[in-house]
Amino acid sequence: MADYKSVISTVEGEQHVIFAALHIVRALGTHKNLEDDLKKILADLDIRLSAMTVTSEKKEGGLSDIKKWINSVEEKVISWVSDKSATLNCSLEEASKYLEVVDEVLKLTESLGSVSMNEDKKGTKLLCRAHSILHMSMARLEEEFSLILFQNRQFFQPEQSSFFICEDVTDEESITSVEGSFREDSRRNVSKEFIIDLVRPDVIPVLKCIANLMFASKYDQECSLAYIRIRKDALFEVLFILEVESMSIEEVLKKEWSSLDLMIKKWIQAIKIFVQVYLASEKQLCYEIFKDLGSVKSDCFTEISKSSVLQLLNFVEAISIGPQQPEKLFRILDMYEVLADLLPNVNALFSNDVGSFVMIEYHEVLKRLSKCVKRTFLKFENAIRWETSTKPFAQGGIHHLTKYVMNYINFLIEYGDTLNLLLEELDEEDHVTSFPNMNPIQEQNQVESSSDSVPPMAYHLQLITSFLESNLQSKAKLYKDISLQHFFLMNNIFYMVQKIKDSDLRIIFGDEWIRKNNAKFQKHAMDYERATWNSIVSLLKDEGICNPGSSSVSKTVLRDRFRSFNLAFEEVYKSQTGWLIQDLQLRDDLRISVSLKVIQAYRTFVGRHANQLEVGRQFGKCIKYSSDDLLNYLLDLFEGSPRSLH
């Protein structure tokens, strides 16, 4: 018995030995002394042999069927691959016959992969062949996928988003000119999204089926990369259409401001359209094609869009680290407001983990731009405070600094909410920069006392007008003529008051400020009259014209008085016709005030003493002008064109 067991144990698993064992079973089956356990073992072996025989026969038949199947599928695939006209760039119904072939290849590989053929060279060879056919199919599908995406692009037309674009009413002189509006409405419709078709809608089902097949075949990376490549190029093409140049930070910093100003205006319109229209539509397209494939849709969208978004942000980065010049503030504020208003859109677009990098970078750029706004604003404050002149301003008119500042702050109120937010965040370093001549205690007291009473922007605008007034007083001292000093201050303070009264600045400055500064310019007008006309009018008084110890008028003194008056009037006329009051109402008011003072005194003096002068040549030299003549001459004052009286 031991010998039989040893033989069986040795040869078990080999088919020809099993046949031999079967003969042994049949030969020994008549022996009565055969142990029961041996009989059992040999019986089991007989069963296994029968099973192996059947399996072997089935495998041979199955492999033959599989081979035929592979031949059939391979023939279809090769025919399709070699026929370049057999494109899937059509409806889903027309493309289905080709997609069914690829589906057959996928099922074939899955079927072969589920059968264990490790010990069967024929089966392994068939499996490798099936994978080769699948690879060929996937390569063609990837090509078709890319071709459909590319050929069915809907070319982006900026007019589709024309409601986002507004007229640019800015001109280069708008800050220094009296009229004109500097600011574009950068927030118009900024919170809306507008979805457009980036590819023809009828090919999306085909693209979706191809993507599902490629992902099921474990060709997900090839499919994703093909999609990303095509759509990323499309995004860069959109930036080109929107006239957004791809520039390094160094290249941006080398640009002249006139060029940068135009680039910023284009950038503002571009980023609104790009984020609200194009990125929103791009994400929609991504989610339609990869709808059933998990997180790949958001990953693909992020990979497609991040380079374009970073290109737009790179421009902002360059602007934020460039020179902080006051004339740039409005454009920088426009950029900040657009970025801030688009923040919810960006957060929604890049809410997944992969997109967090874009979102973080967006937040960082916004933070750096806010710092740039604050520093530029404070630099403007300091520029007003410390601007100096070495020569008196011609004609005593409105200084160009006054026009610049008042128009500047008038435009700033359009950004009231933003500036209140940013100026409230000024840190200690910023305040020291703003008030370099103040000691820390004075500065802190001034800032803290104001912050409780008025909003940050109102406080800073009032501070700017204080700096301007102080600067104007310094400029007034450049005039040697005291009259012209007061005339200059009257002109400029009146202009400041009118700009505030006639604009929304009135809400910020309040009626109390207007009353206070009205009184200031009126006082300078009175001081001008005193300095110019009091000495002249004093010549028309009776004091000192009588002979000593007598009540009779000295004709010599009287003649001298008239001659002195004439000379003084002619001198004032010659100089002050060249002085300029631009505001017609102020000009008329001052002329009337001067006329009332001078004409009344002259008429009274002439009426009282004209008959005491001898009629003749000397009379004409003394009383050269009638009251009406003087009135007409006074109406020539403050025109800005010097004249002479002979």
Q: What is the pLDDT of residues 130-151, one digit of tens each?
A: 667 777 777 888 888 898 899 8
Query: Which pLDDT score is estimated for 612?
Result: 76
Reported pTM: 0.75
Residue 486 lies in a domain: no
Three-state SS sequence of 482-530: HHHHHHHHHHHHHHHHHHHHCCCHHHHHHHHHHHHHHHHHHHHHHHHHH
Tell me the average pLDDT across 372-380.
Answer: 94
Summarised one tens digit per residue, pLDDT across range 354-369 is 788 899 999 999 999 9
Query: Which pLDDT score is estimated for 488?
Result: 97
Mean pLDDT check: name the lowest of 93-97, 306-310, 554-558.
93-97
Tell me the average pLDDT across 424-428.
Answer: 67
Instruction: State whether 110 and 230 are in the same domain.
Output: no
Query: Which pLDDT score is estimated for 57?
Result: 40
Asked if the model's pLDDT at residue 556 lies above 50, the reply is yes
Query: Which pLDDT score is estimated for 246?
Result: 87
What is the maximal distance between C-alpha atoms in the chain? 187
Query: Which pLDDT score is estimated for 470?
Result: 95
Dist. CA 494–CA 528, nearest whole Å: 14
Give the residue, 76 or 211, on which the prediction is more confident.
211
Q: What is the dihedral of CA 500, 505, 508, 513, to 10 degrees?
A: 0
Mean pLDDT check: name the lowest of 9-13, 215-219, 474-478.
9-13
Three-state SS sequence of 96-129: HHHHHHHHHHHHHHHHHHHCCCCCCHHHHHHHHH
Dist. CA 298–CA 290, nearest whole Å: 9
Dist. CA 380–CA 406, nearest whole Å: 12
Q: Which of 384, 401, 433 is the last residue of a domain?
A: 384
Asked if the model's pLDDT at residue 371 lies above 80, the reply is yes
Mean of pLDDT over the chain:
78
Instruction: State whether 246 and 132 are in the same domain.
Output: no
Asked if the model's pLDDT at residue 496 lies above 70, the reply is yes
Tell me the average pLDDT across 561-568.
Answer: 92
Instruction: State whether 372 and 226 are in the same domain.
Output: yes
Query: Which pLDDT score is estimated for 445?
Result: 42
Instruction: State whether 106 and 222 are in the same domain.
Output: no
Query: Cα 68 to chain center, whole Å?
Result: 64
Asked if the model's pLDDT at residue 427 lies above 50, the reply is yes
To the nearest 10 degrees (0 to 180), the angle between helices 440-451 and 456-476 is 130
Query: Which pLDDT score is estimated for 416?
Result: 92
Give the residue, 48 or 363, on which the prediction is more confident.
363
Query: Which pLDDT score is estimated for 290?
Result: 92
Q: Tell me how many domains the chain contains.
A: 3
Residue 29 lies in a domain: yes
User: What CATH number is attached to the domain comprising 567?
Assistant: 1.20.1280
Instruction: State whether 18 and 123 are in the same domain.
Output: yes
Query: Which pLDDT score is estimated for 122?
Result: 64
Residues 465, 508 contacting (CB under 8 angstroms) = no
Mean pLDDT check: name the lowest of 78-82, 258-262, 310-314, 399-403.
78-82
Residue 522 lies in a domain: no
Query: Which pLDDT score is estimated for 128?
Result: 75
Dist. CA 464–CA 296, nearest whole Å: 55
Q: Which domain holds residue 255?
A: 218-384
- Within a 13 Å sphere around the CA of 485, how many CA atoms are in the beta-carbon half? 13
Report residue 375 as tokens. Answer: 């520093």
User: What CATH number is attached to the domain comprising 311?
Assistant: 1.20.1280.170
Query: Which pLDDT score is estimated for 579?
Result: 96
| 334 band by pLDDT with thresholds 50, 70 and 90 | very high
- Which residue has 């409230």 as its token pair? 424
Q: Choose among 95, 101, 111: nearest CA to 136.
A: 101
Residues 267, 259 contacting (CB under 8 angstroms) = no
Q: Choose among 351, 482, 314, 475: nearest CA to 405.
A: 475
Residue 30 lies in a domain: yes
Instruction: State whether 144 and 225 are in the same domain.
Output: no
Instruction: State whether 254 and 338 are in the same domain.
Output: yes
Instruction: State whether 253 and 126 are in the same domain.
Output: no
Dist. CA 467–CA 581, nearest whole Å: 23
Asked if the model's pLDDT at residue 428 lies above 50, the reply is no
Dist. CA 206–CA 212, nearest whole Å: 10
Q: Is residue 416 packed enough to be buried (19+ CB in 10 Å), middle (13-18) or exposed (0-12)? A: middle
Dist. CA 272–CA 268, nearest whole Å: 7
Query: Cα 617 to chain center, whole Å?
Result: 79
Q: Which of 135, 152, 169 is the last residue of a domain?
A: 152
Q: What residues form DSSP beta bridges with 580?
A: 639
Instruction: State whether 254 and 135 are in the same domain.
Output: no
Tell me the average pLDDT across 395-418.
Answer: 94
Residue 389 lies in a domain: no
Residue 534 lies in a domain: no
Asked if the model's pLDDT at residue 204 lies above 60, the reply is yes
| 169 band by pLDDT with thresholds 50, 70 and 90 | very low
Residue 165 lies in a domain: no
Residue 6 lies in a domain: no
Query: Which pLDDT score is estimated for 110?
Result: 65
Asked if the model's pLDDT at residue 185 lies above 50, the reply is no
Q: Which of 354, 384, 414 is the last residue of a domain?
A: 384
Instruction: State whether 137 and 246 are in the same domain.
Output: no
Tell me the average pLDDT across 504-513.
Answer: 93
Give the residue, 157 or 256, on which the prediction is more confident.
256
Instruction: State whether 258 and 361 are in the same domain.
Output: yes
Residues 444, 479 contacting (CB under 8 angstroms) = no
Instruction: State whether 231 and 95 are in the same domain.
Output: no
